[in-house]
Structure 1
């Protein structure tokens, strides 16, 4: 009989068994994860280029390779061709890019994507495709709004798709008073809006897709750049969204620069401003040189005084001179003053009568004659 295993040996064997199970389950899970890729997604952008992505939703665990071919008529042979332009992320192939010359519409397009991971061959499931059903047009451009009547608008636009007859359009609009967007389909590049309110502010978008006559696709383009119409004074929110960037970063700096430039030009060209800030100091030598050389010292003429004013200051009458002489006093006549009226001599002087050598002026009431 075999001897029973010791507890330690039994634990070791159980541990090894569990480790082997975990390794096998890990491999199987990674293989299943590689197989559970979301598949491939191919889109023809505006008939200009084609992309086929297999790592757009989940990062691949292996580096896949893509081979493609078109199923030709029975008289031709088809050979798979490997992708020439891989799209990578972190060094892993996540897609393939095809240029315009590699796109053939209205012929069945088939791809095969495979990889080798840990000795196993992995394949991403694909199916035959028709590229005319995978076209995603570019958004419409040049949106324009015109008033065609009092309450009716007409919205027009252009398309960058080279086959505009293959497109149908959807118009989305909303006013500043509405809470939901309204959408309408349009077969051509024109849309009439029957009733508008001039007190509202409207926003319009347009998108496009391939119509049923050129393909069976549900791939719409992105929404176009919006166009606006109406009175935005009633919608401060919309006005604040549209105006700040343009007015703050474009209009205000340009207007300020123009104003400063105009002020500088005016300051340079205005002589009065220069006289105020930098008054001129007169040179008196030139003025006096003119007085003595040109006007020969004639001050009134140099000062600009008119001749009439100068003549008005000249006297226009003659005045005769009056001569005064002294007459000697007659004998027996008494002086002008009497006993009481005799003048007193000033202090320090004698009160004696003046001598005949220095006679004083002794005048009587009849002692002077005017001639």
Structure 2
């Protein structure tokens, strides 16, 4: 019998037992046999291993059903005539629990509470462990509490966190080996929202940055185009000044005469001459009134003198003639332009 043989013993949730050994070191080039018995059973005879485990073609372990707490097993030679190793143990000190079931996350402000279903056996020996990290954390942060509820606070609602939970056996009061369950599937949360992965947060932020960048680029391009448009309009006005449309200046030519210049000029000639006569008549009347006022003033201050002027002479001798002199302009010449007869007055203006 060899007491120095190293074996690994696992009781899977007190349902199945797995015992393995390093066969290449302990029994190089040899095949062995395995027998076991539970003292609580009615029949305490040795049972042959129902399921062998192999490593490189040699038996390296056995998998069998857990039938009690007190276990004795034997590693023997291939024909079972010699015991190579034997051991007695309490199987419930080697329990590895199953994964937690029905894991639920509760979020409230910055606090997260995780719960799971209670196992059927050994609840007092179990602890629920919660691990979490954000993309800014280098490693996992852990929090352990009694089964089956654990809480932690201080979570930033703007960050995405990875969570995982498992059940652990208490050492050494319940287990001689520190066995924990496998980790429950990792989940990703951000402010009470379940995500497929924390990459979604990065993608969402990237999409937001891209959208903002595109909008800013578009606004900048519109601003530059407006500036260029203003510059172009100024350049166009300086290089190619706008030519006024005559139809907006001579509205009556196009509206009343349909662009007939000869008809329009004949009508305009009568209007201009009449306006000129009315203006000169008004000018003569004003000049006559001013001279009468000056004459009254001179009669009071000095002896009356004879002042000869064209206006007074005509007023004293022929009042109507003076009035006609103001009304009728003196025409000097007639100017012909493109077949049209135009009058030139004393001020050298062409009367159309």
Normalising by structure 1, report the TM-score: 0.45
Q: TM-score, normalised by structure 2?
A: 0.47
Greater fraction of residues in helix: 2
